[in-house]
A and B are shown apart, each in its own frame.
Chain A
Amino acid sequence: MTEQNDPKAVQASPTKEFFIYNITKDIDTIDAIIELADNCIDGARDLRGENSLKGLFIRIKVDENYFEITDNCGGIPIDVARYRAFMFGRNKDSKAIPHSIGNFGVGMKRSLFKLGRVFQIESTAKNSQFSMHVDVQKWMGEEKWTFEFDDGFKEDMPLVEESQRGTRILVEQLNKGISSDFKKDAFKRRLELGLKSKHQTYLEKGIEISINGVILSSTSPKIRLSNKITPAYKQLRLEDDQLTVKIYAGLGDRDKDKAGWNVFCNGRLILEADQSSVTGWTKEFGNPKFNNEFAWFRGFVFFESDQTDLLPWNTTKTSVDLDSVNYKYIQGQMGEVMRPILNFMYKIAEEKKNSDDSDEDTPLEKIIKETNLVSLDSITEEQEFSAPLDIPPPVNNVRISYSKPKEEVDKLKRALGGINRNSELGKLTFEYVFRRECEDE
């Protein structure tokens, strides 16, 4: 008896429309493209492991009429395509690709549905080759949920050389809004910045990512170090050593837009310059809310695991999963690590407030300027944040301030031989009068 004839059967299966609508509505276009790049990066890591990714590329083309992503990152083995890559959700028997970043059993399809109505995939892997053409509209009208390889796919091929392996995905008949985004320079710029930050770890490892022929540069995270200021570094192992967490925190450049915590899962940036309670900026952890005094602060957390379901990310990889017990634990650690750093920055602010010359560097600022920005890899020993807290008490100075018309001030600066700073002029004029009125001839 079929389900439809069964008077006891209650329909509970999803429609394809519902499915597509639901999986695509929570992801934006840029994240969808980054998700496709995640898959390329998984291929690259599968190929090279922890070694350099030099020689591997991900080439993205966005155009009013189509989207294309091509890589030489190993290709999709035909059985992975057949049984896993295009499944909605992961088969409970299939094993996760160790240490991957594109692995929710939803990523690639979601991105493709998000972008357009027709897509084509060609892939050559170690021993296999296939191509596949999907017309989403047509597919939605069909009963079956499977896609089909084009004729001529190959299995059990003699070993294909690494340089010949790779995948090309072409999406056409772009969805409403996508095509107009792809026309815009501003969109390409946002995509560039998104890819650069989300994949900074992998760019640093040498993979080449380009958008319409423009190769993205890499910028690796840096932190300040000197013999007086050392950043905090902590390494933790959770889940029977299955999950490694590294926490770095200290000072960077004074830039309120870049200050905050950066959280990575298997090298993929999930949170960037976060200044919210999610990363410990809250009373709950005994910390203040972020404000501009903390513009020096930089924190980096790296979650690494071969079992990707242990990583505390949400499915769109745009934030952390706050219900994850592992994240909750680490969040507390982050709150602890950051506190002495915030205290130090309070000191800088206080010192600045008491300083009689706002243009001049205070002793603590001088100490910061003597540090070097170093890459995180160069810090290998676990350590606490340390910085001098015993600043010399201010001399018994008082502050004089007054304002005068700019033209007159500029005129006097010129007359006294080209002085630049107002504070300098103030000091000089005070000393001038003091010599005349208070000092003996």
Chain B
Amino acid sequence: MSKKRINYSLRLAKNIERKMLCETFRCLSEFRLVETYKYIGFGSYYFVDFALFHKALNICSMLSIEKGAMNKDLLPRFESNRPYKCIDLRPGQSSEILPQLNWNEHSIVWLDYDGDLIPSVLADIKTFCTKATTESILVITVKADPGNDLEEDDDGNKLDRLTRLKLTIGEGKIPFQIPVVVDGQKKMVPVANKHLDSWGTARVFREIINNEIIDTLENRNGVLREEMKVQYKQLFNFHYSDNTKMLTVGGIIYSQEQEPKVNKCSFERFPFIRFDENPYKIEVPYLTYRELRKLDSELPTNDIDSLKAVLPGVPEKDIKNYLDVYRYFPTFAEAEL
């Protein structure tokens, strides 16, 4: 039996996430043809998301914001890596480019930052929530690495996670209360340092992002008639880790009168959709190619026991994880192209 494991440098969880997003975007056909949406993202050199959304959804209006391309020497490399000519490349920071866009088109915006949750991320969220047309989608990915319990600042002071977060994002952006589960009961409590350990940082980040969206939309709604008021429905709350802990949150904005259409999208049919603070954790199963193939031939099924019988010795957890993600699971093979 082949012992060869999957190459984890290929960021499997991210790959799965991308396909889950893509499947969700397909539901937007309740509103209009998905191909009439504009996709805005950070394509980097690889443009993986752009390639997928173009191929799978036939989206042709595409804009890649690229900070690195501000360097004139690197610009040609970005341009030559564009997989399709419909991708418009805009050198610059998202916080400069997003406010300049005319937001007349319905958009799918995936701001896939590779860094932390910093004020400019919140500024981008504000721009989207102030300007984007309803029936648009916003997805935010940030690193949610809690760091060490205590870390030194430039002056040698030891700062805990909460203090560092306050310094980074500003005291006013720290949530007033966050939902936690105590003895099986959901409770709202003020944020404490202990809430930021492990995946706690991602949970608090989700609250900060959510608050920013709600706060901005409320301001926008102040001047709108009741039926035009803009609502936000969260669809994504992914936790995953290819190396570092990452958080993806996002959802759809729509006007009150479009609510029946939103319901018709039946987003809840996908097991990874999350409307609240409880995340969907993308867990990558540790299985060999041979095991994957064997499992595939038995799927779909919910009968774990029969699958365990097919793969004796394989941990149940990995089989279960695979059941959740198999439709989005990439198969890599070395190839010379």
Contact = CB atoms under 8 A, between A and B. Distances in A.
A185 interface: yes
A181 B218 contact: yes
Interface stretch (A189-197, A244-252, A277-285): A189-197
B171 interface: yes
Nearest to A213: B188
Interface string A18-31: 00000000000000
Contacts of A190: 172
A188 interface: yes
A180 interface: yes
A184 interface: yes
A181 B176 CA distance: 13
A189 B222 contact: no
Interface string A151-192: 000000000000000000000000001001101111111101
Residue from A180, A186, A187, A369 whose CB has the most chain B CB atoms within 10 Å: A186
8 smallest A-B Cβ distances: which pairs?
A: A188-B176, A189-B176, A186-B215, A186-B211, A185-B211, A185-B176, A180-B218, A214-B190
Contact of A189 (B155, B172, B189, B214): B172
A193 B171 contact: yes
B266 interface: no
Given A180-B218, A180-B221, 11 more contacts: A180-B222, A183-B214, A185-B177, A186-B172, A186-B214, A189-B174, A189-B175, A189-B176, A189-B211, A192-B176, A214-B189
Interface residues of A, number: 17
Nearest to A257: B170
Given A186-B211, A190-B172, A214 B218 contact: no
B66 to A, nearest CB: 21
A127 B75 CA distance: 80
Residue from B176, B212, B221 whose CB has the most chain A CB atoms within 10 Å: B176
Instruction: Label chain A's interface by main secondary structure.
Output: helix
A212 interface: yes
Residue from A185, A188, A190, A193 whose CB has the most chain B CB atoms within 10 Å: A185
A183 B176 CA distance: 12
B207 interface: yes
A184 B172 contact: no
Interface string A188-217: 111011000000000000000001101000
A214 B176 contact: yes
Contacts of B172: 186, 189-190, 193
A181 B177 CA distance: 15
Contact of A184 (B155, B215, B222): B215
Interface string B275-298: 000000000000000000000000
Contacts of A369: 155
B177 A184 contact: no
A177 B177 contact: no
Residue from A177, A180, A188, A212 whose CB has the most chain B CB atoms within 10 Å: A180
A433 B173 CA distance: 50
Interface in A249-282: none
Interface of A: 177, 180-181, 183-190, 192-193, 211-212, 214, 369
Contacts of A189: 172-176, 211
A189 B210 CA distance: 14
Interface in B158-211: 171-177, 188-190, 207, 211
Nearest to B229: A180
Contacts of B222: 177, 180
Contacts of B211: 184-186, 189
Chain B: interface size category: 10 to 19
A186 B172 CA distance: 8
B105 to A, nearest CB: 28
Nearest to A254: B155
A362 to B, nearest CB: 13
B175 A185 contact: yes
B218 A184 contact: yes
Contacts of A192: 176
Contact of A214 (B174, B177, B221): B177
A111 B188 CA distance: 28
10 contacts: A180-B218, A180-B222, A184-B211, A185-B176, A185-B207, A186-B176, A186-B215, A211-B176, A214-B176, A369-B155
A183 B171 CA distance: 20
Contacts of B214: 183-186
Nearest to B216: A186
Contact of B177 (A180, A183, A188, A193): A188
A212 B176 CA distance: 10
B76 to A, nearest CB: 21
A291 to B, nearest CB: 20
Nearest to A191: B176
Contacts of A181: 218
Contacts of B176: 185-186, 188-189, 192, 211, 214
A214 B173 CA distance: 17
Contacts of A186: 172-173, 176, 211-212, 214-215
Contact of A212 (B174, B177, B207, B212): B177
A391 B190 CA distance: 46
A247 to B, nearest CB: 27
Contacts of A183: 214, 218
Contacts of A214: 176-177, 189-190
Nearest to B178: A185
Nearest to B207: A185
A369 B175 CA distance: 32
Interface string B131-165: 00000000000000000000000010000000000
A185 B212 CA distance: 9
Interface in B218-233: 218, 221-222
A181 B215 CA distance: 8
A357 B5 CA distance: 50
A369 B212 CA distance: 37
Interface in B221-268: 221-222
A23 B275 CA distance: 42
A371 to B, nearest CB: 13
Nearest to B189: A214
A408 to B, nearest CB: 18
Residue from A180, A189, A190, A211 whose CB has the most chain B CB atoms within 10 Å: A189
Contacts of A180: 218, 221-222
Nearest to B188: A212
Contacts of A193: 171-172
